[in-house]
Structure 1
């Protein structure tokens, strides 16, 4: 087994030099840019040769591109030259610019690798760079490649630092997870264990990814997994998907991809926006792993997607709930290929007391979707966050994780690192765990996620999970936008009060504001037994989310208290 990504790529180049590694759908459809294994090696080693002449090993390089071959070449060039790659998305608005500036300040890069267009645009915000570290800017698209001018370090090993992967920042500020080659290859082998356990039927394993490549799920499923499997990956930008979700499934159908990953909202979007006529053009019979992760997995979405796309060959066993986080590269748990999702109903009041009681579906139950089990050396346990004692099955606590995929620390954040990594559990002092910050339980070997510790709403001694209240709110009226709601509590008059911020579709009728608010209050009270103190209906597209689409509840609460919400009125 290869223990670093560079050896993994070079081994595949020797086996299949002319095989296409990446199909990049520039326009999301027919404009295709390809990169073979040998072309990637030549271009990445060429660029690495230039980098190693001017920058010392361990220097940070921000890799600033949209989905493109230049991004891929630059990323691999950093790995070849033993620079630490820091993937970031080009800023499209002021909020994204603030994120980029924050990452530059934290990572202290020696250079930014980008293209001529993006670098020229950086001149417009030059004034924001004055108090930041000095760095070079290299336009990769202007480089002329020379087949004889190549370089890759011969000192790379499993402990060599490879990437700083910044978290989405859904709770607090974004943190840079420092990943070495062992972390990355171990996570790849976990994913390959799923693929190799039950190979696809009558088709070559291949991948399709529209996720942003600067995020953990996009980076692993779109860039690295194809190399680890010796096959190919088809890529398109997130914008191409969001403009027209049909493009995702059309590409899956055309290239006969077997594996593709996306958050729950993407499957929901396909159900709503892909027409019956478009379905007739699709063949999804070969798509055997439709990984659903990165946000809460909803049973309703699973069922609707299966019902709608079974007509074009989609297998109900292909929908594949999973769990992961950046501190573990991306992957932690999932089921086996072709196994059905595990969906259970648990008593709502018992869950609020951290107990799991399964019963028939009723107004008094919450539906949860299992996210599978660990692979290879991975281990997941549930720990009482107050006593630091491991809990038994079907008891809710914090999810602790152990594997070689776990990073050693956050970049430049010693205090947060000590509070998160290599945590000891009472009675197991010889082993260190990652504190995930997520709440959940294990039942029959299956992990279930119930929420985030920092997002938990505690009212009069009872625990309420925000995503459950948010689900009730967004379904209270057809004018409400699904996935664009935040529930949280704030201290008002020395008492915690429940607040809901809900986006309304552009076509919503403003004469119904009062009835919409009353609907939310009534349904939350009837469903959860709790009174909503205040409800704010806001304009579509204005709820604060991370770059990966997660609702920033803490940030929303600050905006609520400072009265800075974009109220729909």
Structure 2
């Protein structure tokens, strides 16, 4: 695998963040897609455990179903109220999420609704309703009204009330970085404008358009999964294919075969997912899966974004799946904030992955000192790309909050359009304009 050293000649990517001009909201994007020339083309497809299609929705169908859910929500919730949206089978989560937005309520995606941590999250968010797939499904929460996603569809197939018209700075979701069962901390409101601008930046960096298919198994309760699988297709005109995280965990070949089935693919996953593919996909199957359609393989460091990406993992995956025509240059390492809902940096696809070797002892002391190679005190780090258009990235001294020079480790701060400055809590440094995350 060809991995290039840090490159300082990337001035075109260094842009200061500024408040975005008024733009479309997520509701606007779905409405435009549902009434445009591609309204009757499949927008979202859900796959089953073996990779078989189990549900499909065009933009027009999704918009109609979301309006029905919105009508049901309006009986128990008012605009601005928080609504819990747990995982659901097929495309029910998609319908529930956009139903919340159509009603003017704020969706609160959660990993599950069981246990004391989930109840604490509901109290913290002040949610007044929870969406469930059907009357028999799970999702009961003390003091929270249940609204059934599928029931309104049986009552009527016609559009009813018009969707609310939120402002770009209105919250599109309340994102919790931790899943129930762990200490959740406070939720972070992510605005329509910030969410749309972030995915538009990914679209432009990766040349995603109507000929692209987003293939994702990432959980939709997590910011990265939601932004990638739900918002990016609307921003770019692409279609999306989703499968359950459990299906990927049981058999990573389901994800890879979903990539093979499309003509031009954007797919994102954490570092550990690529390693799992190497360990779990038999050698004989690697050459039977044609990955030549995979144009952008985005890679992050885990749920919080701050875990380093392993150059060894990327090399192992590229070597393992080269018989299936995987090209190592499609890797694009990135970094995000707000639970991954907002992109901060992303490498350019179809360019060699940037990596550098640094002295391990010096890194522990806060200095990034280049060394010839890893080993004998050296560690190899993968660059997480340069700032996305409109995003500002600074590395600050945690104590003084003053910007530190390049190759000095500090806390990563990001200035995202429509979101202002975010203190990430992650440590890293800049080298030649490239962001390196150390933990």
TM-score of the superposition, structure 1-length normalised? 0.69
Give matches, 1:293-312, under 5 Å: 293=300, 294=302, 295-312=307-324
Counterpart Cα distance in 1 of 2:164 and 2:242: 30
Counterpart Cα distance in 2 of 1:352 and 1:220: 34
Question: Deviations along 1:359-413, whole A, 9 cap, x unmatched?
Answer: 112321011110001122101011111122111111111111102253xxxxxxx
Following TM superposition, by how much is the alpha carbon of 1:150 offset from its aligned partner in structure 2, in angstroms? 2.0
Following TM superposition, by how much is the alpha carbon of 1:214 offset from its aligned partner in structure 2, in angstroms? 0.7
Out of 166-175 and 57-66, give the one that drifted further: 166-175
In our comparison, the structure showing a higher alpha carbon Rg is: 1
Is residue 178 from structure 1 mapped to residue 189 from structure 2 by the alignment?
A: yes
Following TM superposition, by how much is the alpha carbon of 1:164 offset from its aligned partner in structure 2, in angstroms? 0.4
Following TM superposition, by how much is the alpha carbon of 1:253 offset from its aligned partner in structure 2, in angstroms? 0.5
SS in 2 for 1:324: strand
Is residue 139 from structure 1 mapped to residue 157 from structure 2 by the alignment?
A: no
For the Cα contact (< 8 Å) 2:196–2:231, is it kept in 1? no
Aligned to 2:367: 355
For the Cα contact (< 8 Å) 1:207–1:259, is it kept in 2? yes
Aligned to 1:19: 41
Give matches, 1:112-511, under 5 Å: 112-116=130-134, 119=137, 121=138, 129=142, 134-143=143-152, 144=154, 146-168=156-178, 173-196=184-207, 204-293=211-300, 294=302, 295-326=307-338, 329-361=341-373, 362-406=375-419, 433-451=421-439
Counterpart Cα distance in 1 of 2:184 and 2:159: 41
For the Cα contact (< 8 Å) 2:191–2:418, is it kept in 1? no
SS in 1 for 2:261: helix
1:240/1:18 CA distance change after superposition, 3 Å: same
Aligned to 1:464: none
**Of 93, 96, 99, the match for 1:71:** 93
Counterpart Cα distance in 1 of 2:320 and 2:242: 24
Following TM superposition, by how much is the alpha carbon of 1:98 offset from its aligned partner in structure 2, in angstroms? 3.2
Following TM superposition, by how much is the alpha carbon of 1:277 offset from its aligned partner in structure 2, in angstroms? 2.1
Question: Deviations along 1:277-301, whole A, 9 cap, x unmatched?
Answer: 2123211112111111134210110
Aligned to 1:55: 77
Following TM superposition, by how much is the alpha carbon of 1:328 offset from its aligned partner in structure 2, in angstroms? 6.8
Following TM superposition, by how much is the alpha carbon of 1:51 offset from its aligned partner in structure 2, in angstroms? 2.0
Following TM superposition, by how much is the alpha carbon of 1:171 offset from its aligned partner in structure 2, in angstroms? 9.1
Counterpart Cα distance in 1 of 2:185 and 2:408: 30
Would you identify which runs of 4 or more consecutive aligned residues in structure 1 move more than 6 Å?
none
Counterpart Cα distance in 2 of 1:28 and 1:139: 27
Out of 163-172 and 206-215, give the one that drifted further: 163-172
Counterpart Cα distance in 1 of 2:249 and 2:400: 44
Counterpart Cα distance in 2 of 1:239 and 1:172: 23
Counterpart Cα distance in 1 of 2:164 and 2:83: 20
For the Cα contact (< 8 Å) 1:287–1:318, is it kept in 2? yes
Give matches, 1:2-13, under 5 Å: 2-13=23-34
Counterpart Cα distance in 2 of 1:437 and 1:356: 19
For the Cα contact (< 8 Å) 1:190–1:375, is it kept in 2? yes
Following TM superposition, by how much is the alpha carbon of 1:447 offset from its aligned partner in structure 2, in angstroms? 0.2
Question: Deviations along 1:229-266, whole A, 9 cap, x unmatched?
Answer: 11210010000010111111011101235111111111
Following TM superposition, by how much is the alpha carbon of 1:90 offset from its aligned partner in structure 2, in angstroms? 2.8
For the Cα contact (< 8 Å) 2:79–2:105, is it kept in 1? yes
Query: RMSD of the TM alignment (CA)?
Result: 2.1
Following TM superposition, by how much is the alpha carbon of 1:322 offset from its aligned partner in structure 2, in angstroms? 0.8
Following TM superposition, by how much is the alpha carbon of 1:74 offset from its aligned partner in structure 2, in angstroms? 0.8
Question: Deviations along 1:411-465, whole A, 9 cap, x unmatched?
Answer: xxxxxxxxxxxxxxxxxxxxx62211111110011000011xxxxxxxxxxxxxx
Aligned to 2:65: 43
> Would you tell me which structure has more helix in proportion to its own residues?
1
1:118/1:336 CA distance change after superposition, 3 Å: farther
Counterpart Cα distance in 1 of 2:212 and 2:223: 21
Counterpart Cα distance in 2 of 1:3 and 1:233: 20
Out of 46-55 and 238-247, give the one that drifted further: 46-55
TM-score of the superposition, structure 2-length normalised? 0.88
Counterpart Cα distance in 2 of 1:379 and 1:283: 38
SS in 1 for 2:127: coil
Structure 1: runs of 5+ lacking an equivalent = 407-431, 452-569
Aligned to 2:54: 32
1:168/1:122 CA distance change after superposition, 3 Å: closer
Greater relative CO, 1 or 2 (CA 8 Å, sep 6+): 2
Counterpart Cα distance in 1 of 2:428 and 2:341: 20
Counterpart Cα distance in 2 of 1:405 and 1:290: 27
Aligned to 2:107: 85
For the Cα contact (< 8 Å) 1:2–1:8, is it kept in 2? no
SS in 2 for 1:332: strand
Structure 2: runs of 5+ lacking an equivalent = 1-21
